[in-house]
Amino acid sequence: MRKVIEGSHAVAEGARLARAQVISAYPITPQTHIVERLSEFCADGTLDARFLRVESEHSALAALIGAASTGVRTFTATSSQGLALMHELLHWASGARLPVVMANVNRALAPGWNIWADQTDSLAQRDTGWIQLYCEDSQEVLDTTLQAYRLAEWVYLPVMVILDAFFLSHTYEPVDIPDQESVDRFLPPFQPRFHLDPESPCTFGQMSPPGVYMEMRRSIQDAMEDALLAFADVEEEFSRVHGRRYGPVEAVHCDDARVILVTSGTVTSTSRQVIAELRARGEKVGLLKVKLFRPFPVESIRTALGRAQKVAVIDRNFSFGASGIFAQEIRAALCNLPGHPTVFGYVAGLGGRDVTTAIIEEIYIRTRDAEAPQGESLWVGLQEVKHAP
């Protein structure tokens, strides 16, 4: 059924259709609408799930780790400071190989206090062993939430579904909400390979000395590598049932492009318009949308970007002392490719600042006309400021 709904509610619909059994969350703007809607589903019986109210995001994830250990389907949502507070337990969830699904609404970290879109919160958690999927619109948010469960339960790793604050979380768009029956076909009940069973008690996560720890870590990496293949399978099945697929990356006009823009999240939508206009003017420009960030789809990226002369990565995030994080990853993916394109890094739109068509076009022109990058990251649209004495 096609309905005009808020991005947050697209997430909630996804968790509902996935038949999440235990939900726990702590409210934080701009995530709150997601769990608010889910709590309503629980209250009115639309969703048969336990909704656990907790006193912090740390506890929210801790509760889900306990719940997921028993083999049930779990869901939480958070943002920014909340995700940062979960940090310790993000490692725990992946180390314990629990298929928790979480929505993270990308929001800037404080101080200064800022509730608007910025990817640094989730990208700062890239080493925690979570699969990360960045979404462009509300339909993708809903579909990705469903895919996330399939993927998580396949490779026994937690999955983060990521969407931009306000641009996505609070924007109303038409969304095709699949019926329960078709979702059930795509996502049958979870049959866990291990679970906490009082009839056969065991300890999870006990002391793991040097003799075994390394193998456990390797097992997580194997699962991550498996997730790349599994994601393709999940998408294949999803498209058979629901007729939509997104790919770990999406290449637009990359085959003959000299300059390719690399984007993620909602900046992608704006960029689609820009490159369409540039193409109409005869510019050899392409666009690569990165959806799957962990595991990082290196081969797909090399294939898409390998023939271009220049790549311009737009980062709505920053790693202090280094550069935009997507730019780092793209450079790393390309550096061992003979004759790889030059990578230009651009930082734009931090803390919710608009990344307009004009900015994207400026980024393209600068890249096209430059001999070589002027540095690791070029900050676009910076204003003069008065510094503290």
Partner 1 sequence: MSSERRERPPTSLFISRSYLSTESNKTGSWRFLRPRYEEKTAPCSVACPAGEDIGRIEMLTAEGRFHEAWETVLRENPFPGICGRVCYHPCEHVCNRGEFDEPVAVHILERFLADAAARFELKPSIERRTPRTEKIAVVGSGPSGLAAAYFLARLGYQAEVFETMPEPGGVLRWGIPPYRLPLSVLNQELTLIRELGVRIHCDREVSPESLGATGSGYDALVLGCGHSRSLDLKIPGENLKGVEDGLRFLGRIRRGETPALQGTVAVIGGGNTAMDVARSAARLGARSVVIYRRRRQDMPAFAEEVEMALAEGVEIHELETPVAIRRRGGRLGVTIQAMRVAGEDSRGRARVEPASGKTREMEVERLFLAVGATTVAEWQDPPPQGRGVLSLCNSLLVHEPGHPVLVFGGDLVAETKSVVHAVASGKEAAMALDRLFRDGLEAVRPGLQACLVGGGPSLSMEMYLNGPRSSRNHRIVQYDDLNTDHFRFAPRIVEPRLLRQERLRSFAEIVLRIGANVAIREAERCFNCGLCNDCDNCQLFCPDLAVICDRKAGSRSINYDYCKGCGLCVVECPRNAMVLEEEAPCARS
154 binds partner 1 (CB under 8 A): yes
43 binds partner 1 (CB under 8 A): no
Nearer to partner 1, 230 or 278 (CB): 230
383 binds partner 1 (CB under 8 A): no
* 238 to 267: interface string for partner 1, x by CB under 8 A: --x---------------------------
230 binds partner 1 (CB under 8 A): yes
Strand partners, 289: 250, 263
Tokens at 275, concatenated: 């490159």
Contact stretch for partner 1 (CB under 8 A) within 38-46, 123-131, 148-156, 270-278: 148-156
Q: What amino acid occupies position 145?
A: T
191 binds partner 1 (CB under 8 A): no
**Nearest residue to 355 (alpha-carbon basis) of 285, 267, 277:** 267
Strand partners, 41: none
**Nearest residue to 76 (alpha-carbon basis) of 97, 96, 59, 94:** 59
SS3 label, residue 266: coil
Q: What amino acid occupies position 158?
A: P
Can you tell me which of 2, 112, 127, 200 binds partner 1, judged by CB under 8 A?
A: 200
Tokens at 56, concatenated: 């912090």
**Nearest residue to 159 (alpha-carbon basis) of 47, 77, 38:** 77
Nearer to partner 1, 237 or 376 (CB): 237
204 binds partner 1 (CB under 8 A): yes
* 95 to 124: interface string for partner 1, x by CB under 8 A: -xx---------------------------
Q: Which residues of 115-128 are buried (b: 16+ CB within 10 A; e: fewer)?
A: bbbbbbbbbbbbeb
- Residue 204 beta carbon to partner 1: minimum distance, rounded to whole angstroms: 6
287 binds partner 1 (CB under 8 A): no
Q: In what order do the strands lie in the sheet with 131-134?
A: 50-53, 22-25, 74-79, 101-106, 159-164, 131-134, 292-294
Nearer to partner 1, 168 or 230 (CB): 230
Site of interaction with partner 1 (CB under 8 A): 96-97, 154-156, 193-194, 200-208, 212, 215-216, 218-219, 222-223, 226, 229-230, 233, 236-237, 240
